[in-house]
Structure formats: C-alpha cells, structure tokens
A and B are shown apart, each in its own frame.
Chain A
Amino acid sequence: MSIINPTRRGLLKTGAVAGAGMAMPLVFTGSAGAYMNEPSGGSVVLGFNVPQTGPYADEGADELRAYELAVEHLNGGGDGGMMNTFSSDALKGNGILGRKVEFVTGDTQTKSDAARASAKSMIEKDGAVMITGGSSSGVAIAVQGLCQDAGVIFMAGLTHSNDTTGKDKKANGFRHFFNGYMSGAALAPVLEKLYGSDRRAYHLTADYTWGWTQQESIAAATEGKGWETVNNVLTPLATTDFSSYVAPVLNSGADVLVLNHYGGNMVNSLTAAVQFGLRDKQVNGKNFEIVVPLYSRLMARGAGANVKGIFGSTNWHWSLTDEGSKAFVKSFGTKYGFPPSQAAHTVYCQTLLYADACERAGTHNPCGVAEALEGYKFSGLGNGDVEYRAEDHQCFKDVLVVKGKENPTSEFDLLEVVEVTPRSQVEYAVDHPMFAGGALGQCNAG
C-alpha cells in the first residue's frame, strides 16, 4: 500500500475501524472500496437534500416526511406502504442488501451553490451512496452534475425542466418526475376538447431556464392543436406584483392566458389575473380562460379560491384510486395526518426504486444500480405502468390533467383529476429537439 494514494472513499463506521486503528495508529488508508462510499458495516447511508429554508421549504418538508416513511418501510417498519403494491418483490423489509438504511438530511436553500455544498458534505462527511431530493430544476441539474463527478447515484426530486433529462442529463442521475414536454402533450388535447382549436394564447413566463423550456413545450403542443401563440412575455423571478404584466393581456387579442410560473410566482400571477377579472371577460366571442401548466397542490393553497376551474397538469395526486396510490396515501396519512403531495410521492417512489435496483443488482455500486434502473419497467407505484428509459434516464408514466376543484371539501381537496393521460401519449423520441444536446456520458463509480 503506497503512502500517498489518492482515494475518494468515504468514512468507515466506528466499530470496523477502531480495532485496526488501535493496532496501527497511523495509517494512510488505501482504496478499500471498489466504488465511492462503499458501505462496509451493517448500514447504508442515503442523503436527502431538500429545501428547508427559502420559498420551497414546505415542499422540502413534505419530501422529508416521505423519505422518512420510505426509510421506515425499507427497514421493515410501518405498514410497508407501496412496497406491498410494487411489482418488484426484491425488497424484503430488511433494509437494502441486508444493511439497515440510515439517512442524513441537508438544506438546499433552493440555491445551486448551497445544494451542492450540502450534497458534498453528505458524500464527504457522512458517506452517502445516493443523493436525492430538491424542488427546482436549477438545483436538480447542479446536484446531478456533482453526483456524476463524485460517483454516487442521484435521484432527482421535483424537477420539471426538459433539461434535466435533456441537454443536462447524466449517467448517474435519474428523474421520476415528469417534464415540460409531457405537461404540454397531456394538456393540449384536453384544452382543445374544452376550449376548441381556434384559440389565441398569451404566455407569461418566468424568466429562467425552467420557465423557458415549459413555455416552449406548451406553445408547441397547443400550436399543434391549432392554437396561435399571440405573445410570450418573460417576467423576472423576483416579481411579486404581476399587475403590469397581466393588465395588457385583455387588449392583446388573446383569449387564453398561460402562466408558466411555479411557486410564489404562480400564486401571485394567478391572483393578479383573477383580480383583474380576466375570467369574467369575453374575448373574440369566447370566455377568457387561464391555464397553469404545472400545478402543485401545496402551492395552489396559496392561490385559494383563484384556482377554481383552472386547468393544469400534475405528476400525481392523492385522490388517485389505484392500489399503489391508495396504499401510499394510507400509510402517509396515518402517520402525518394529511395527504401527501406530488413531491412526497415522487421522492418516496425514488427511494424505493433505488433500494430495489440495489437489491436486483446485488450491489450499491452506482454503475450496477444504474444498469438495473435503465430500461426498468414496473408498476404498482401509482401512475400505471412505468418505465425508466435507458437512453436519457427519464421516467415515462401516465400524466394527470387536473383542474381546480369548484367545491373543495377540505383544505387538501383543491384539485380534481380530469383525465389520466396515458403514457403513450406523452412519450417522445430520445433525439427530440427540445431535449437535444448533452450526453449521458459514462457512469461514474468514484
């Protein structure tokens, strides 16, 4: 063993090291692991990197709840949740590969810098073999890049930008969430059916990467149904009062307003649009309509009654009645007292899927895990039959078209599922121009 021998492995757990340490008080350890942070003791560490401060802190908190639930189920606690409905039976409730699952948490602050720092500390300090979580595309792409470099698996949380599995895709990263293109593909037929094919759309778009890719996707999909895109106005992220963007809409000849906003932006722009009375107006002889392509139930609460009757898409909703969703809602709801959000569902699935892939591959080695996930087909985790496409690591599944509920029965009951758009309708070719550029590269085991 050479004295100077660069290694990138993580920590060994106390017990194992103590003995060796006593015998040899001064040792430069060699590359003991075959891959980054290879677990050596009776446990394996996962890193849950979610926003705990900043505007998406509540989504982060919901993600953390789901992660804790997933860990509980993996270690054999609780009612097992979706492990019972999952089509794979590799998971036995005895941890992953017989190792007890432990986890560390961190705060992304919804800043790519802070998220990477947090993920690095999980890898360097805590010896995490897998990083997951997040609530924005910028962060997801940044952390995905880091995990690729460091040689651990990244299971992206809530990220909707086409780029995550498009030009910024990475061999070590997988996305369970749907994307802008899928939102467009799912929404466009429903919108056509509802509002007709002769519509003129005015887009307000958050002025950053996610907003642009979603706008591009929605415009393309609706134009495919005969709609015309009258205008696309970019709004600064920091905008809180959207009145000056909403005011000119009515007089522009448009009869549909598409809000490519998320989070606080979405709440405020929708509130402004409703306040201006847009939905009570008639333009071109038709009722004026508003569309919010990406809905989050947690965020929709902030817009209150303004969401009533407004269409959008979402990745998953607790009111789904398939066995998997029901099992998940039951175990989450029993534990925490309220239904899970789509973010919670996504990260729960990802944790299970990672564990399952490890079991099937028989290793935590990221290359082995990635191979087990690539092209993997499964069901029983909600959203019907699902596939992780090998070529870009995007997950393909049914997409929900939802609308704001007219008569909610509780504070959680804000959206109703209008249509479950089948997977086949939202699929696209690997080399679709909206996803062009970039390459997965080689999987990296550190």
Chain B
Amino acid sequence: MDIILLQLLNGLDKGSAYALIALGLTLIFGTLGVVNFAHGAIFMIGAFTAVTFSKILSFSFVTLDPTQKNFLGEPLEVKTAYIVHWFGESTGNGLIDWAVPLAILFSIPVMLFVGYAMERGLIKHFYHRPHADQILVTFGLAIVLQEIIKYFFGANPIQTPAPDMFRGSFDFGVLIGYAENAIIYPYWRLVYFVFAGLVIGGVFAFLRYTTFGMVVRAGMADRETVGLLGINIDKRFTIMFGIAAAVAGVAGVMYTPINSPNYHMGMDFLVLSFVVVVVGGMGSLPGAVLAGFLLGILESFASMNQVKVYFPGIDQIIIYLVAIIILLARPRGLMGRAGVMEE
C-alpha cells in the first residue's frame, strides 16, 4: 500500500509537469488552431532563462590567487560574483542560491516577449495554411531555437539547483502511520506541484472570470462569429500566445532543478506533450490537465518493480499504450470537441 501511495505522489508530480506543458500547447491549439511543434522549444527556452538568470547573478570578476595553481600550473583564477562583492557573503550567496525561484520574475517578461515575437513574426502568417505547413515551419523554428541555445550553452546538461532550504525530502509516511522512509517526497517537488496547481488554476480563472478570457473562450468555440461581432480577436490571440509561452516558460524554469536543462530537452518533451494534449482531447483545457495527471500517474505505477516483473519494459511503452486505448475507446480523447483537427 505504501508503495502505491508513494507512486501516486510521484505520479501527481510528474503529471503536474505534463499538464503544465500540455496546457500551453492546447491553449495555442484551441485558440489559434496552430500545430505548434516549437512548443517544446519554448519550454526549453524557459528553462534556459533560469540558467541565464543564475549566470547573470553570478557574474564575476577574476582575481589571481598565487597560492593555488590551475591545471597548467599557473596561478589560479578565482572568480568572485559581483553581487557577493557588493552585498556581502550571505546576501550575495543567498541570492545566487535562490536563482531558480527568482528567475520566474525574469522569465515571465522574457517569455511573453518570445511568444509575442513568435506569433507576430511567424505564426500569424500560418493561421490559414495547412497543418502540414504549420508543422514544418514550427519544427524548423524549434531546430533553429535549440541550435542557438546549443551554440551559447553547449550540449551538456547544466546544473541549476533549487535553493538549499528545499534540499532533502518530507516524510509523508510517518504522518499517516507508515514506517520511516516509506513515503518520502523531496521538498522541491512539492513546491513544483503546488506551483503547477497555482498556474493551472490561474489560467482557468483567467479564462473563466475575465472578459478577456470569455472572449478568448468564445473565439476558441467559434472564431468567425466572434470576429463578426467586431471584437479584435487577433490581438487577443496574440496575447494568448504570449501567455501560453509564459506558462511553458515558467514550467521550464521550475523544472530545472528536477531535470538539468540541456538544449534538446524541448524535443524530448515534444512528443509527450502532444500525446497528452490529444489524449485529453483537442481543444479542451481541462482534458489536457486531466490527461497530464492520468499519464503521469500511470507512468509512475508502470515503473514499479512489482509491475515490471510481470510486464518487462512496460514503463517503456505505458504512455503510448494508454494513449492508444483511450483514443480507441473515446474517439476524441477524454474531453475533446467534435470537428477539431479531425480532418
């Protein structure tokens, strides 16, 4: 029982990551009708805004320390971050330690701009083009974006740790009467889970309770009619693209301590996020979230040794297997609407 609870927790956490990525993707699908293969790249750029921000924070000057030698036997270059120099050891290092959470503030404007620029510069010209063209151009864009990141940051993963106070894990098991260490969960992942919940809730509240959101929802249902009402739906859609980019971006920022960012992480998540969105049902935001959690939880269960003993390699295919079963049982995914991307 405890292992099931443990994997349920894991699944919720994984699921919240999937749901966050899928949410942005389905916003773009639903509002703009664009198949955005660059969404994974946006997630990746989000993660790299965290890397950039922590690099900015630890921007350093160099002093030579003659007492120590570097690998060539020359005096060692010791780097001191400017903010440590300015604010002193504790404040400076504290800021650097908190780089990831702080990077969210940095990331949101950057990602809004990235989304805005992408939509205005490229995507808007593809609204009326076939989906195949959209796939090709956004895939091309994704490659270009990741190669740019690779050029500046290299191919290896880059460590971006969570603040020190989130080290270690919380013992749930003890709370509910299990043995020590039976159900533990890292603090940072709990933070991530709560954060994902807030973002998802925020997006839903925004769409539900603001006029802007209502217009966008109406536009998702019937773009032409809303356009006929004299509402400038295009401008709102541009903003939605920016918001979708920001959602993917902050998801990327918060994910960096879990998965050290590398330039191809976007591609790694691309297929998965598409599967999540489609299993949820095209054009359905709650569907995407639901599917994200469902697949996350099932994936966690499939990784249990107790399961793998009977089905070797089940964790390799579980996501796809579930996707097939759901799509066969429910033609439009869990909560999809008729007629969306069925042609």
Q: Please list the residues of chain A having a beta carbon within 8 angstroms of any beta carbon in chain B.
A: 54-58, 61, 207, 231, 233-236, 238, 240-241, 243-245, 247-248, 250-251, 264, 267-268, 271-272, 275-277, 280-281, 283, 298-299, 301-306, 318-319, 329-330, 333-334, 338-339, 409-410, 412-413
Contact = CB atoms under 8 A, between A and B. Distances in A.
B259 A304 contact: no
A301 B155 contact: no
B10 A275 contact: no
B72 A333 contact: yes
Interface of B: 2-3, 6-7, 9-11, 13-14, 17, 68, 70-72, 76-78, 150, 154-159, 161-162, 167-169, 179, 181-182, 184-186, 188-189, 257-260, 262, 264-265, 268-269, 299-300, 303-305, 308, 313, 315-316
A207 B313 contact: yes
B17 A410 contact: no
A301 B186 contact: no
A247 B316 contact: no
B70 A410 contact: yes
Contacts of B188: 275
Contacts of B161: 304-306
B159 A243 contact: no
Nearest to B164: A305
B159 A302 contact: yes
B168 A277 contact: yes
Choose among A238, A250, A319 the residue with the greatest number of B CB atoms under 10 Å from its CB: A250
Given A268-B259, A412-B71, A247 B6 contact: yes
Contacts of A207: 313, 316
A275 B159 contact: no
A301 B159 contact: yes
Contacts of B259: 240-241, 268, 271
B156 A236 contact: no
Contacts of A247: 6-7, 9-10, 184-185
A329 B72 contact: yes
B316 A236 contact: yes
B156 A298 contact: yes
A250 to B, nearest CB: 4
Contacts of A54: 155, 264
Contacts of A58: 154-156
Contact of B169 (A231, A275, A306, A338): A275
A277 B169 contact: yes
Given A248-B7, A329-B72, A410-B77, 15 more contacts: A57-B154, A207-B313, A233-B308, A234-B313, A244-B14, A264-B157, A268-B259, A271-B260, A277-B184, A299-B156, A301-B158, A302-B262, A303-B260, A306-B159, A409-B70
Contacts of A413: 71
Would you list the 10 A-B pairs with minimal beta carbon distance, nearest first? A304-B159, A302-B157, A57-B155, A277-B168, A244-B300, A244-B303, A250-B181, A339-B71, A244-B10, A275-B186
B169 A276 contact: yes
A251 B181 contact: yes
